A and B are shown apart, each in its own frame.
Chain A
Amino acid sequence: MTSITRRSLLAGGVATAVAALGGVAAAAGRRFGLVPPDAEGLFAPGNTLSYAAHRLVGRDALAREFPRSAISTKPFANQISAHTEAFARHQAEHFAHWALDVRGLVDRPLPLSLTTLRGLEARSQVTAVTCEEGWSYVAEWTGTPLSAVLQACGIRASAKYVVYFAADGWFDSIDIDEAMHPQTLVAWGMNGGPLPVPFGGPLRMRVPRQLGYKSVKFINRLLVTDEVADLQIQPGLRNYAWYSGI
């Protein structure tokens, strides 16, 4: 009997300690931005552990960059949904009137034309597009760092996420660390030329520290926010982790 009592006491003590530690960890996690917005449901533990681990050890780490000689001669554009009539009109005008509309927690909400965007700042980098399906290619991407776009619009200190919307209805979001990361580009050039439409032209988000599905094509709107409510990037794409650095 004594051993049973001792055992149950011990188990109770351990459970209390774990619960207390869990509470402290959750509070600390939220305080230091270690809890992803999809930390709920069946996969909350895995999603949170992966996101927290990556943010703890590599918040500022740079994605691998390659020499120009590593650029793939046979990149793969992947499937895209059928273009809308509006997109076809933009394409016929060579995207002369395409703009990136920036709204939300910014002091100067702006529609930025492609010309204005190119004039802000340009950066080129040779990075890999890694698809969650398993395939990959390397290309040189040229674009305006998202951080420069956000600073031009006067991003507020309360901003925690940037949601980006595409002309074809696709959208996704990243945290402010990823958004302000120097390699996160609003890309308008590829391999020395303009960004081809199959690869997301005229404007594509490039998030090289995360898998391909975060690099949304045909973007035309940014929303700076302090919470992301709708995580579903496309009807039917359920349970895809919001953080895809893994």
Chain B
Amino acid sequence: MTARSHTAAWTGDVAPPFDQPAAAMTAGHPRFVRITHWLTTIATIALVISGIELIISHPRFYWGEVGNVNTTPLFSIPIPASRATVPTGYGFTLPDQNGWSRSLHFQAAWLVLFAGLAYLIAGLRSGHVSRRLVPAPGDRSWRALRASIAEHRRAHIIAPHSPGVYNVLQRTAYLGVLFVLFPLVIWTGLAMSPGFTAVLPWSVTSLGGHQSARTLHFVTMLALVVFTVVHVVMVTRAGFRRLMRAMITGTAESRP
């Protein structure tokens, strides 16, 4: 059974998620997509784990340039802290894990940056982004997006999905992650670096200050985590083993 035969087997009452001429459509993931996908996965796991550790040292968020335990936070996360100076309401202090957390965070950030650049260069040069991610001409409307959302709410749309062939909702989500969330999380991260802002002061002043950058970094991280959870849930609904195989070997079908 080939990937294409899923199309033939399609009997749903909505249009299948193929909106390109048949010749241009080859289901499956190109190698650069698979490699950068897993590098980004590894780096994101490392970034989230180390990021949580860093938040534990000061689970208070502020707006503007300055913020510390003597000033009023915008919001606080009700967790214990790894520093005795932070008033949390808990009677204990967690161990300091910031040394390896900071080092791991920045090392993983470099990996995301390199994987992202490699993806963008290969994706733009090969036409992958323009053909597979930019919504097809007929789909560039709120109406098409709403219809796609409605389709996703019906369970049967999920099953026949061919790896690497995306409907308008997927395309919009992936473009948002690629061109909005990842650039924003990198920008807000760099805006917290005193060495970086010495070179480009507007990178932090345009965000409202150091503490605003930190708060926006946290919120953008939450958005990326929400995307990741939805992404994994949808992959699971559409056939975890089949789609994992596709993201590892390139095609959904096991080789003879």
Mark A residues whose CB is within 8 Å of B.
42-43, 45-47, 49-50, 54, 57-58, 61-64, 66, 70, 72, 74-76, 78-79, 128, 130-138, 208-211, 236-241, 245-246
Contacts and interface: CB of A to CB of B under 8 A. Distances in A.
B104 A64 contact: no
A54 B193 CA distance: 10
Interface string B93-125: 000101110111011111000000000000000
A245 B107 contact: no
B14 interface: no
Given A78-B85, A138-B65, A246-B193, A45 B99 contact: no
B133 interface: no
B103 A241 contact: yes
Contacts of A66: 65
Interface residues of B, number: 41
A208 B60 CA distance: 23
Interface stretch (B2-10, B68-76, B137-145, B246-254): B68-76
Contact of A58 (B96, B195, B211): B195
Contacts of A78: 85
A246 B99 contact: no
Contact of B68 (A54, A57, A75, A241): A75
A79 B106 contact: no
A15 to B, nearest CB: 16
In terms of DSSP, what is the predominant structure of the interface of chain A?
Answer: loop
B161 interface: no
Contact of B110 (A42, A45, A61, A136): A45
A208 B66 contact: no
B57 interface: yes
B68 A79 contact: no
A72 to B, nearest CB: 5
17 contacts: A43-B103, A45-B110, A46-B108, A47-B107, A54-B195, A57-B199, A63-B198, A66-B65, A72-B68, A75-B68, A76-B69, A128-B65, A131-B58, A131-B68, A133-B57, A211-B194, A236-B96
Given A61-B199, A134-B57, A237-B99, 9 more contacts: A46-B103, A78-B85, A130-B194, A131-B58, A134-B60, A137-B66, A138-B65, A239-B102, A241-B103
Nearest to B195: A245
B58 A134 contact: yes
B49 interface: no
* Residue in A47, A136, A208 with the greatest tally of chain B CB atoms within 10 Å: A136
A235 to B, nearest CB: 12
A61 B60 CA distance: 30
Q: Which 6 A-B pairs have the closest CB atoms?
A: A245-B195, A46-B107, A239-B99, A74-B70, A76-B68, A135-B68
A131 B65 CA distance: 13
Given A49-B110, A76-B68, A132 B102 contact: yes
B243 interface: no
A58 B210 contact: no
B159 interface: no
B215 to A, nearest CB: 10
A152 B96 CA distance: 40
A72 B55 CA distance: 23
Nearest to A55: B195
A61 B198 CA distance: 5
Interface in B38-96: 54-55, 57-58, 60, 65-71, 83-85, 96
Nearest to B82: A133
Given A74-B68, A137-B66, A246 B98 contact: no
Given A49-B110, A74-B71, A79-B84, A136 B195 contact: no
A136 B63 CA distance: 11
Nearest to B85: A79
A128 B102 contact: no
A35 B198 CA distance: 20
B204 interface: yes
A43 B107 contact: yes
Contacts of A132: 57, 98, 102
Contacts of A43: 100, 103-104, 107
A210 B195 contact: yes
B101 to A, nearest CB: 8
Given A64-B204, A128-B210, A246-B193, A136 B104 contact: no
Contacts of A133: 54, 57-58, 83, 98
